Amino acid sequence: MKKDSFIDGHKLKENNWVLWYHNNMEEGEDRWDPPQNSAVYLAAAITASARIYMYPFISREDCYYTDTDSVVLGSPLPPELISGTILGKFKLEERVEKGMFVAPKTYYLKTVDEHNVIKFKGPAKTMIHPEWFEKQYADPSLKTLVEVKSNFKVKLSTLEVTSTKNSYILRLSLDPKRVRLFETESGARADTMPLHINDLSGLDHMGKRRIASLRNKISELQVYNSILEEKFFQKGSEVENKEDGDILKNLEIETCLTEDRTILDREEKREGTNHTLEESTKTDEKKPDT
């Protein structure tokens, strides 16, 4: 056995040992390929069909929680959609009086017959109680340290079954898809806002389709904005041309008036000169002969 593959060993008795070691199943004679008996396309088609079937119910305003093939509604469904034996119909599991849904697969239900239903994942799920949901709902970032006792803990190095105590922190795995907003004074959660995505390489196909749709919308708005700018420029040019035309027209009128005034002045001067000549002629005519 190679030294780098050896992990640990324990002696049971003379010439009997229990060994732990790494074994690379990708190379050598021990390579084993599982049979290809799965059809991913069938699973995808079934899941998509189920999502289409569930959408009218999970999109209702009184839908408080949903998980794959279940839904919690504020009002009952029509009787023709409910059956405990017919495949494809809903089964009425509980009539809920109170419910708190703090995270996916983490909720608390109080039924009308005073029965509590608590769902929580993890080794400390036995420490979850309705009061914990009340505290987490008031403060989703709350963390609680608890000690959990395990009565069946196998120690592989010695093949012993022991009882151990471990410490765990109870908290919510908050959704990282949105940013939480809190009130300034009270500190209570007020709302959420979407994340700003800078790296598009990690988006799924739906996210990429939305980004493509937004880009097309932006392109349409840019084209529309260019058309408006062109029309605005044309309108401004028309106004400027009209103002320039009015100014030119006023200048032509003033020029015409000036030219007319100059002609009149010339005629007046000419008339004044002719009047002097006539007077001198008349004076000559009145002189007596000598």
Count CB-CB contacts under 10 A for residue 21.
Answer: 13
Predicted structure pTM score: 0.50
Q: Is 207 or 122 the better-scoring residue by pLDDT?
A: 122
Take residue 157 and report the two structure tokens written for it: 């190095």
Does residue 192 belong to any structural domain of this protein?
A: no
> What local confidence, expressed as pLDDT, does residue 290 receive?
45
Is residue 281 predicted with pLDDT exceeding 50? no
Is residue 274 predicted with pLDDT exceeding 60? no
| Arithmetic mean of pLDDT, 72-84 | 92
Is residue 203 predicted with pLDDT exceeding 70? no
Q: What is the CA radius of gyration of the chain?
A: 48
Sign of the alpha-carbon torsion through 268, 272, 273, 275: positive
CA nearest to 147, candidates 171, 167, 122, 172: 167
Take residue 53 and report the two structure tokens written for it: 């079937």
Q: SS3 of 8, please?
A: strand
Looking at the DSSP assignment, which residues form a beta bridge with residue 145?
169
Q: How far apart are CA 270 and CA 267, in angstroms?
A: 5
Count CB-CB contacts under 10 A for residue 64.
Answer: 14
- Summarised one tens digit per residue, pLDDT across range 220-244 is 888 888 888 888 888 888 877 777 6
Q: SS3 of 83, please?
A: coil
pLDDT tier at 110, thresholds 50, 70, 90: very high
Cβ atoms of 214 and 207 closer than 8 Å: no
Cβ atoms of 67 and 105 closer than 8 Å: yes
Is residue 125 predicted with pLDDT exceeding 70? yes
Q: How far apart are CA 148 and CA 164, in angstroms?
A: 8
- Summarised one tens digit per residue, pLDDT across range 33-58 is 667 777 888 989 998 998 899 999 99
Domain boundaries, position 243: 197-251
Q: SS3 of 258, please?
A: helix
Q: How far apart are CA 250 and CA 254, in angstroms?
A: 6
> Which of 167-171, 173-177, 239-243 is modeled with the greatest confidence?
167-171
Tell me how far CA of residue 177 lies from CA of 180, 190, 193, in angstroms.
Answer: 10, 16, 9
What mean pLDDT is reported for the chain? 78
Does residue 240 belong to any structural domain of this protein?
A: yes
Cβ atoms of 165 and 95 closer than 8 Å: no
Does residue 244 belong to any structural domain of this protein?
A: yes
| Arithmetic mean of pLDDT, 108-114 | 92
Does residue 122 belong to any structural domain of this protein?
A: no
> What local confidence, expressed as pLDDT, does residue 257 receive?
56
Does residue 162 belong to any structural domain of this protein?
A: no
Q: Is 117 or 210 the better-scoring residue by pLDDT?
A: 117
CA nearest to 71, candidates 43, 110, 99: 99
Does residue 264 belong to any structural domain of this protein?
A: no
> What local confidence, expressed as pLDDT, does residue 67 receive?
87
Cβ atoms of 155 and 10 closer than 8 Å: no
Domain count, the chain: 1
Does residue 124 belong to any structural domain of this protein?
A: no
Is residue 277 predicted with pLDDT exceeding 50? no
| Arithmetic mean of pLDDT, 148-156 | 81
